[in-house]
Amino acid sequence: MTEHNTRHKVVVIGGGYAGTLAANRLRMRDDVDIMLVNPRPEFVERIRLHQFVARTGEATIDYGTLLGAGIQLVVDSATCIDTAGRTVRLASGRALDYDYVIYAVGSTAAIPSSVPGAAEHALPIAEFESARRLRARLEELPLDAPITVVGGGLTGIETAAELAEQGRTVTLVCGRSLAPYLSASGRRYVARWLTRHGVAVLEVGMVTEVRPDAVLLADGAVRASALTIWTAGFGVPDLAAASGLRTDALGRLLTDETLTSVDDGRIVAAGDAAAPSGQPLRMSGYAAGPLGAQAADTVLSHIAGTEPAVIDLAFTGACVSLGRRAGIRQVARKDDTPVNVYIGGRMGAAIKEVTCKFVVAKRIRREARKPGSMGWPTGGPRPEQPTTAARAVTAP
Ligand SMILES: Cc1cc2nc3c(=O)[nH]c(=O)nc-3n(C[C@H](O)[C@H](O)[C@H](O)COP(=O)(O)OP(=O)(O)OC[C@H]3O[C@@H](n4cnc5c(N)ncnc54)[C@H](O)[C@@H]3O)c2cc1C
């Protein structure tokens, strides 16, 4: 692909951590028309949704404060990427022509249909709209109403902790184990904090049915639950598959190590919705920013006719809030496996808060002011036999 004297149209689908960062970084060239498609007129800070639900924080930010000059925000949903016609079709009926697409639709909640009543009576926290319903529902409930949080992963822990600190009566049903991501010592710290704050932690408990006012557990026990919050598992939007593009089993867009779709050289993925070499990185706000930056770099390389770089990102661990006054910073190796070192307590909480602010201020906003400025830790492992894309970029 070589350069032409025309402007280049890039449609970024999804204005989350990856898409917003990518849109800002594309401004490294001034001959790129950037359109960012997102269903809401505001950016959702998903990493604060548990705070939003508990009313200890807000989770939306005006895009006007995040996007660089010239980026056009299109408030709509993409329904199909028509790769033959090179248009992105939108729910409103509009269609956007593109030279390149950055596919950054993120992830969704995933409530299994195999659990009777879950889809009807449990509410997920992973998406803004359901988080808003949860917030409203909580408002109606007395403080001592029993609440069940399903899922012992980091999202479940943060949700249970935030509500427990508010004086709510919370049961955390973990499935198999509490905090499988954390080191043994980190897990013990979290378990102690939850117990001290009155959370009933059912570590090997499994919810097998959700009723309007109760949950049924695998051992036959019925526990009262005025509100059941589902945090176990994430899905992804089915836009890639609906557009005839190959995906991994979950539905993430299958790409090579430059994040370019294996089916179409004009489509580049980033964030939770990307599956480079079929071996996606951990879904996280942490990875979404660097992947968004790398997706933008790949598109800019395609435009310039240069070889795009392969992704290069090291993990450093994770931060988990435990209410507003405690938290845990788990330290991990570059491959994201935890080491037996963590920082807990108030210092852990402070690190988490700084991290949340850093993502918005030092990554997204800085990239808007100074496209190309973002750096990130590198050197994480990638597959020895990476997938290569069947490049299909032929015409300007
Ligand atoms: C409660 C909670 C706490 C979390 N805490 C942390 C944490 O502490 N640290 C961490 O690293 N990660 C955390 N995460 C995970 C993190 O939020 C996600 O991994 C991150 O948001 C992924 O970024 P993204 O840009 O890929 O996708 P998203 O942030 O999900 O953004 C995707 C955007 O695309 C939009 N979209 C979807 N479909 C379409 C379509 N068809 N057309 C147009 N737009 C579309 C979505 O509406 C959304 O705005 C947390 C998640 C939750 C729910």
- Tens digits of residue pLDDT in 166-206: 999 999 999 989 999 999 999 999 999 999 999 999 998 89
Task: Tell me, in angstroms, the distance from the centre of ligand 1 to residue 343's CA.
Answer: 25
Give the SS3 label for residue 253: strand
Which pLDDT value is given to residue 387? Answer: 87
Q: Would you say 268 and 298 are in contact if contact means Cβ atoms under 8 Å apart? A: yes
Instruction: Supply φ then ψ for residue 366, to 5 degrees.
Output: -65, -40
Atom of ligand 1 at shortest range from CA of 77: 42
Question: What is the C-alpha separation between 111 and 102, in angstroms, rounded?
Answer: 27
**Do 230 and 260 sit in the same domain of this protein?**
no
Give the SS3 label for residue 41: coil
The amino acid at 294 = Q
Which pLDDT value is given to residue 388? Answer: 82
Which pLDDT value is given to residue 367? Answer: 98
Asked if residue 140 belongs to a domain, the reply is yes
Rounded to a whole number, what is the largest CA-CA distance in the chain? 69
Which pLDDT value is given to residue 392? Answer: 52
Question: What is the C-alpha separation between 297 and 303, in angstroms, rounded?
Answer: 10
**Do 123 and 227 sit in the same domain of this protein?**
yes
Regions of the chain short of the pLDDT cut 50: 1-2, 394-396
Report how many domains make up the chain.
2
**Do 188 and 220 sit in the same domain of this protein?**
yes
Atom of ligand 1 at shortest range from CA of 286: 11
Among 144, 142, 149, which residue's Cα sits nearest to residue 210?
149
Asked if residue 326 belongs to a domain, the reply is no
Ligand 1 within 6 A of 215 CB?
Answer: no
Which pLDDT value is given to residue 393? Answer: 54
Percent of the chain at pLDDT above 70?
97
Asked if residue 15 belongs to a domain, the reply is yes
Ligand 1 within 6 A of 230 CB?
Answer: no
Asked if residue 175 belongs to a domain, the reply is yes
Asked if residue 265 belongs to a domain, the reply is yes
The residue among 314, 334, 369 that closes a domain is 314
Question: What is the C-alpha separation between 172 and 160, in angstroms, rounded?
Answer: 7
The residue among 214, 234, 254 that closes a domain is 234
Query: Mean pLDDT score of the chain, rounded to an integer?
Result: 95
Question: What is the C-alpha separation between 230 and 171, in angstroms, rounded?
Answer: 12
Residues spanned by the domain of 220: 118-234
Asked if residue 227 belongs to a domain, the reply is yes
Question: What is the C-alpha separation between 293 and 380, in angstroms, rounded?
Answer: 16
Question: What is the C-alpha separation between 205 and 84, in angstroms, rounded?
Answer: 49
